[in-house]
């Protein structure tokens, strides 16, 4: 009897090829699309997913999760920006939706496994004596940064069909071979609920965040250099669009919600060798009991840097071997070992 796997299908090329590969592996594949938003793009994706499943002769289910998506992802995104932090909604979506309620639904349907089109590897590790997530062979597409929030007990039930592919082009060739219309479909935008990735417009129109003007302050002298039109319009590391004149180039190095200030300074002031993080999730041990040496990554497109992680009661302190640029509150810091195994991560405080 074939083992059942519930495959998350977005109507894109990655999940569609994942369906082909799972069938080739001998699994009984059930396609599933989670409806998270009420918009034209969502129903286009749903139509594509159903069409692919019909072509591959696999069943397809649709599940409505708009309410939990709104609660756990969108509302969190808004509340974090109100606190002058920069959240990462994909981390929350993977935690609560794609590897949360999706896994629960798989169990309801009698599926031993869940599968997604993520670029990541999962394999048995003798080092940790358990299943672990490792960085993808396709380094440019690696998505492990967004996966650290998965519950440890779910690891035994995950399949990443694309884990052995080193190129997105190879994935597209498979789709072309099977005459799938999605073979040339563009990759989805970064934040699915924000049109054109314009988060400022979203926060102003959809989130009803009322912006107040405040001062732009020079960090070292507390000199007022100008005024800002709301701190949600500024990000750590930003240089352009500050609307101030100064003898040296200035960058946003901090946001003070209590005083409604945008704090600026020279580029060297963007760098720091330490950070603290909470909301931790560990994938290879129950909790951090003693300091560990590892590689830490402060944003998805950053390069991992050598670091030591020191545990405290409900947070960790991370000390980097080299200063890191633009460490940002609300973003995730994610930890790897020397074998590219994902250890866990947390939210930068």
Catalytic residues: 93, 192
Question: Residue 313 contacts by C-beta under 8 Å, 6 or more apart in sequence?
Answer: none
Q: Are strands 342-348 and 332-336 parallel, antiparallel or unpaired?
A: antiparallel
Q: Are strands 316-325 and 305-311 parallel, antiparallel or unpaired?
A: antiparallel
Q: Are strands 4-8 and 113-115 parallel, antiparallel or unpaired?
A: parallel
What's the CA gap between 112 and 127, in Å, rounded? 25
Question: Residue 259 contacts by C-beta under 8 Å, 6 or more apart in sequence?
Answer: 214, 215
- Phi, psi (degrees; rounded to nearest 5) at 288: -80, 120
Ranges of H-type helices in the chain: 13-25, 40-56, 66-69, 75-82, 89-93, 102-108, 168-177, 199-205
> What's the length of the chain?
349
Angle at 85 between CA 249 and CA 245, to 5 degrees: 20
């Amino acid at each position: 009897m074939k083992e059942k796997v519930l495959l998350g299908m977005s109507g894109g090329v990655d999940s569609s090829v994942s369906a082909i590969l799972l069938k080739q592996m001998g699994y009984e594949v059930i396609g599933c699309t989670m409806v998270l938003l009420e918009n034209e793009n969502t129903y286009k994706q749903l139509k594509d997913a159903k069409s692919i499943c019909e072509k591959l002769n696999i069943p397809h289910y649709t599940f409505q999760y708009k309410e939990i998506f709104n609660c756990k992802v969108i509302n969190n995104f808004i509340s974090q920006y109100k606190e002058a932090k920069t959240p990462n909604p994909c981390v929350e979506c993977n935690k609560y939706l794609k590897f949360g309620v999706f896994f629960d639904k798989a169990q309801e349907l009698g599926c031993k496994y869940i599968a997604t089109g993520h670029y990541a590897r999962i394999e048995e590790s003798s080092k940790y004596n358990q299943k672990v997530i490792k960085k993808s062979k396709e380094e440019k597409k690696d998505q492990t940064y967004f996966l650290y929030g998965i519950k440890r007990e779910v690891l035994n039930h995950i399949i990443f069909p694309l884990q052995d592919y080193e190129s997105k082009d190879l994935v597209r060739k498979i789709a072309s071979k099977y005459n799938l219309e999605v073979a040339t479909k563009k990759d989805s935008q970064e934040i699915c609920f924000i049109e054109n990735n314009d988060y400022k417009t979203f926060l102003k129109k959809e989130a009803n965040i009322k912006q107040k003007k405040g001062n732009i302050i020079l960090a070292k002298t507390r000199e007022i250099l100008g005024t800002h039109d709301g701190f949600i319009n500024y990000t750590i590391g930003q240089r352009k669009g500050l609307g101030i004149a100064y003898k040296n180039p200035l960058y946003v190095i901090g946001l003070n919600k209590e005083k409604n200030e945008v704090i600026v300074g020279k580029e060297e002031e963007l760098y720091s060798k330490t950070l603290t993080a909470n909301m931790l999730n560990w994938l290879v041990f129950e909790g951090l009991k003693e300091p560990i040496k590892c590689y830490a990554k402060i944003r998805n497109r950053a390069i991992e840097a050598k670091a030591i992680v020191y545990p405290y009661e409900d947070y960790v302190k991370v000390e980097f071997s080299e200063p890191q640029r633009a460490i940002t509150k609300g973003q995730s810091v994610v930890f790897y070992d020397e074998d590219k195994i994902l250890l866990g991560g947390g939210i930068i405080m």
